[in-house]
Structure 1
Amino acid sequence: MNYLLAILLPPLSILLTGRPILSILVFIIWIPALIFSGGLTHPMFILLAWLLIFQSREGRRAR
């Protein structure tokens, strides 16, 4: 169960920011990246998700 959550966490967090197309694109890239690199790209996707969450918060503050 924990592995499934770890696999889905970056695409799911991007989906929750309200960007479904980017979430699907990240999911398509994320799975092969995990398989071929052994998880070395994990920080890159976590940073992308964090950046999108930060931008959505700043967008709400501006309104």
Structure 2
Amino acid sequence: MALEMRELCERCGTAALAADGPARICSYECSYCVPCADSMDQVCPNCGGELVDRPRRVAVAVG
């Protein structure tokens, strides 16, 4: 089962969340930009869970 790498912040909707960039995520995969997560004191408003650093996917060169 792969982690769903959402591309937009679920709170502000304007911050692009690159797969290799910083983001915060809860255990239900709700995803937020760092400024929104900071303003919510690292607590997910959907489930009340802790927001933690989302793992990053680094692009791999092919060839």
Give the alignment's TM-score, normalised by structure 1.
0.28
- Bigger strand fraction: 2
Higher share in helix: 1
